[in-house]
Amino acid sequence: MDTELEQIIDGVGPRLRTLRRDRGLTLEAVAAVTGISVSTLSRLESGIRRPTLDLLIPLARVHRVSLDQLVAAPATGDPRVHLTPMRRGDGSVLVPLTQYPGRVQVFKQVLAPREPKLVTHEGYEWLYVLAGELRLILGERQCTLHPGEMVEFDTSQPHWFGPANTTAVEVLHLFGPRGDRAVARTTPLTTHHAPETATLERPAT
């Protein structure tokens, strides 16, 4: 076995331990979800047990990371998160904030002015305005959102969103490909101003 491959394999155990501890999970909790015994998990994390696909695939799922991240990502190193913006031809910028597949995806978007074009697709979206004004068209209804306001909708409805004027708008964007929805578990304190959910209105005729 060459040195590079040996280093990759040796790094899997510490990485698994770091992921588990970062998520506040015990070996028993991971064992209950994956079906892998506590002793096997302990030996895997300590490097005594060699990682195999039948062990790594369920562990990647429970830790919500891709398999290549679990195997190839460094166990330690630069703690900063390096995001890779994707720039589009119309001047918009998309920054993915999540990297695991099959779950709710989170993006930061800077949307440049463009002509509305309604689309439909399977899923559910949640938008929170960070800066600027956002125009949302949902079927025959539309609304304008300001910083601190949010909206959620089923993407099977014809929809479009973008700047409400000639200035770019910055949003936090959650998308669930299987209709997953963001669920609020707490209510804001009465001493704070709560973000508002915009009300959709029909355009004037």
Residue-wise pLDDT for 141-155, tens only, equals 999 999 999 999 999
> What mean pLDDT comes out for the span 82-90?
73
List the domains of the chain with CATH numbers: 3-72 (1.10.260.40), 86-176 (2.60.120.10)
- Span 133-141, mean pLDDT? 94
**pLDDT surpasses 90 at 102:** no
Whether the Cβ atoms of residue 99 and residue 69 lie closer than 8 Å to each other: yes
Note the pTM of the prediction, 2 decimals.
Answer: 0.54
Q: 194 pLDDT exceeds 50?
A: no
| 109 neighbors 146 (Cβ within 8 angstroms) | no
The band of 75, judged by pLDDT with boundaries at 50, 70 and 90, is: very low
pLDDT for residue 45 is more than 60: yes
CA nearest to 164, candidates 138, 136, 139? 136
The CA-atom distances, in angstroms, between 161 and each of 45, 51, 52, 53, 120 are 46, 45, 45, 42, 12
Would you say 97 and 103 are in contact if contact means Cβ atoms under 8 Å apart? no
